[in-house]
Amino acid sequence: MNVEDELADQLRNIAHSRRCSLTEAINGVIREGLRRQTARKPFVTVPWESSFAPGVDPARLNQLADELELESLVGKAKVVRQSR
């Protein structure tokens, strides 16, 4: 396994400050990192009240209005073509 020079220097400094071998320092740093990964608090979403029904995305209401307008225009165009 190859370790970048900057990381190797940091690991040597950690080993020196802890007065342990480089291997012990590496194992300790890895253990700390893994412990932090597993000790994270779960992400929690906080619900909020809305006047919209579940599943209705207020950000897409304009898209719905556009689609309804397009349907109306297409229907009108068909009527005009049929009357010709």
Structural domain contains residue 73? no
Within 10 angstroms of residue 25's Cβ, the number of other Cβ atoms is: 20
The highest-confidence range among 27-31, 55-59, 72-76, by mean pLDDT, is 27-31
Structural domain contains residue 77? no
Domain extent at residue 17: 5-38
Structural domain contains residue 21? yes
Structural domain contains residue 47? no
Amino acid symbol at 81:
R
DSSP conformation class of 52: S
What's the pLDDT band for 76 if we cut at 50, 70, 90? confident
Please state the domain count of the chain: 1
Structural domain contains residue 46? no
How far apart (Å, rounded) are the C-alpha atoms in residues 84 and 1?
A: 78
Cα 84 from chain centre: 55
Structural domain contains residue 48? no
Answer whether 12's CB lies under 8 Å from 22's CB.
Answer: yes
Write down the pLDDT at residue 10: 96
DSSP string of 9-28? Answer: HHHHHHHHHHTS-HHHHHHH
How far apart (Å, rounded) are the C-alpha atoms in residues 11 and 81?
A: 78
Q: What is the pLDDT of residues 1-41, one digit of tens each?
A: 788 999 999 999 999 999 999 999 999 999 999 888 877 77
